[in-house]
């Protein structure tokens, strides 16, 4: 009886020793020499939150007809009997005629991730194009949220467009100094001009400034204004900035780019406005082509209309 009791105690001790050894191996490391004990904060990293938007709006319905009529003058087809046929400006699919304001969807591989639409108006004097593009950004890095990934992509595109940032602020200070120097130079010029006036008599009648020709001498050859007909270039207000720049109050971040091209095919100005709303990047492109190279598209007008589209789209994103 005494020998049988010793054997039972020895077996129990062996089981306890083996279970303790296994527990020690489990808690010591994760196989790579790193601690992964229960309760360790590094054991399970929390993923970044998903983006606000899971779907995209239907792009061809994103801009209403009233706004398209303002953006695309001349797109409306003339009535029967006007200009001979009344079919200009209409697109046809078989025997059916569609309105130019319906737009043409831009082909994409995944409309849940990217979608766009384009519109066009054209006549013998000018052509205008409008397009909107929506891109829903998804981050595949658990440490980076969809919104953060969208901001990184927006920053990259702003950099490629060479949009000035807040870091360029010192340039304004230099501009103020140059302005003061210019004022000093004006004083000298005024003194010199006063001495010239007392000595030269009638010499100031032909002071060499442009635009002193007889009124209407150049405008008489220009045709009367019509639908989307180029008008004489008008200078924007002195305090209006039309250069490529960052914009506020449109989405979470926005910039506008303005490029003028005077190639052989004609003169055209291209406006690109890109804004981010949460994890969606929206791009509005608006341009005008003129066949008459004596005129250039009005930058202020085109920028204003492109902004009106972007503001409307951004407001709709905010409401959803």
HEC string of the chain?
CHHHHHHHHHHHHHHHHHHHHHHHHHHHCCCCCCCCCCCCCCCCCCCCCCCCCCCCCCHHHCCCHHHHHHHCCCCCCCCCCHHHCCCCCCEEECCEEECHHHCEEECCCCCCCEEEEEEEEECCCEEEEEEEEEEECCCCCCCCCHHHHHHHHHHHHHHHCCCCCHHHCHHHHHHHHHHHHHHHHHHHHHHHHHHHHHHHCHHHHHCCCCCCCCCCCCHHHCCCCCCCCCCCCCCCCCCCCCCCEEECCCCCEEEEEEEEEEECCEEEEEEEEEEEECCEEEEEEEEEEECCCCCCCCHHHHHHHHHHHHHHHHHHHHHC
What domains lie within the chain, and their CATH numbers?
59-77+89-163+241-319 (3.40.1000)
Q: How far apart are CA 68 and CA 286, in angstroms?
A: 11
Could you tell me the CA-to-CA distances from 110 to 119, 136, 263, 277 in Å, in that order? 21, 10, 35, 20
Question: Which one is predicted more confidently, 150 or 16?
Answer: 150
Question: Which one is predicted more confidently, 233 or 130?
Answer: 130
Mean pLDDT value across residues 107-120: 92
Tens of pLDDT, residue by residue over 155-165, are 999 999 999 98
Torsion sign over Cα 233, 239, 240, 244: positive
Judged by average pLDDT, the poorest of 4-13, 117-126, 305-314 is 4-13
Using 50, 70 and 90 to split pLDDT, how confident is the model at 191? very low
Mean pLDDT value across residues 301-317: 97
* Percent of the chain topping pLDDT 70: 57
pLDDT at 195: 45
Q: How far apart are CA 275 and CA 154, in angstroms?
A: 8
pLDDT at 45: 53
pLDDT at 229: 61
Judged by average pLDDT, the poorest of 103-112, 168-177, 225-234, 291-300 is 168-177
Question: Which one is predicted more confidently, 183 or 270?
Answer: 270
Q: Does the pLDDT of residue 209 top 50, yes or no?
A: no
Tens of pLDDT, residue by residue over 38-72, are 444 443 457 888 899 999 999 999 999 999 999 99
Using 50, 70 and 90 to split pLDDT, how confident is the model at 179? very low
């Amino acid at each position: 009886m005494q020998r049988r009791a010793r054997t039972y105690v020895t077996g129990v001790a062996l089981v306890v020793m083996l279970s303790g050894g296994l527990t020690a191996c489990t808690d010591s490391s994760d196989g790579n020499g790193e601690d992964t004990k229960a309760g360790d904060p590094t054991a399970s990293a929390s993923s970044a939150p998903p983006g606000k938007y899971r779907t995209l709006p239907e792009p061809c319905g994103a801009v209403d007809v009233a706004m398209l009529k303002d953006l695309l003058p001349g797109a409306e087809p003339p009535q029967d009997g006007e200009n001979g046929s009344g079919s200009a400006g209409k697109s046809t699919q078989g025997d059916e005629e569609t309105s130019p304001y319906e737009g043409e969807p831009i082909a994409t591989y995944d409309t849940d991730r990217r979608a766009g639409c384009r519109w066009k108006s054209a006549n013998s004097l000018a052509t205008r194009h409008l397009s909107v593009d929506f891109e829903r950004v998804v981050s595949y890095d658990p440490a980076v949220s969809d919104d953060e990934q969208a901001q990184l992509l927006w920053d990259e595109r702003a950099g490629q467009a060479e949009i000035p940032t807040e870091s360029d602020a010192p340039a304004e200070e230099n501009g103020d100094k140059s302005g003061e120097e210019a004022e000093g130079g004006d004083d000298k010029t005024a003194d010199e001009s006063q001495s010239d006036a007392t000595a030269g008599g009638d010499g100031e009648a032909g002071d060499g400034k442009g635009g002193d020709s007889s009124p209407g001498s150049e405008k008489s050859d220009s045709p009367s204004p019509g639908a989307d007909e180029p008008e004489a270039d008008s200078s924007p207000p002195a305090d209006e900035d039309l250069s490529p720049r960052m914009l506020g109050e449109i989405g979470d971040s926005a910039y506008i780019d303005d490029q003028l091209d005077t190639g052989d095919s004609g003169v055209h100005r291209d406006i690109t406005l890109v804004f981010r709303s949460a994890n969606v990047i929206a791009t509005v492109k608006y341009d005008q082509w003129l066949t008459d190279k004596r005129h250039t598209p009005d930058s202020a007008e085109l920028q204003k209309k492109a902004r009106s589209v972007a503001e409307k789209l951004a407001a709709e994103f905010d409401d959803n």
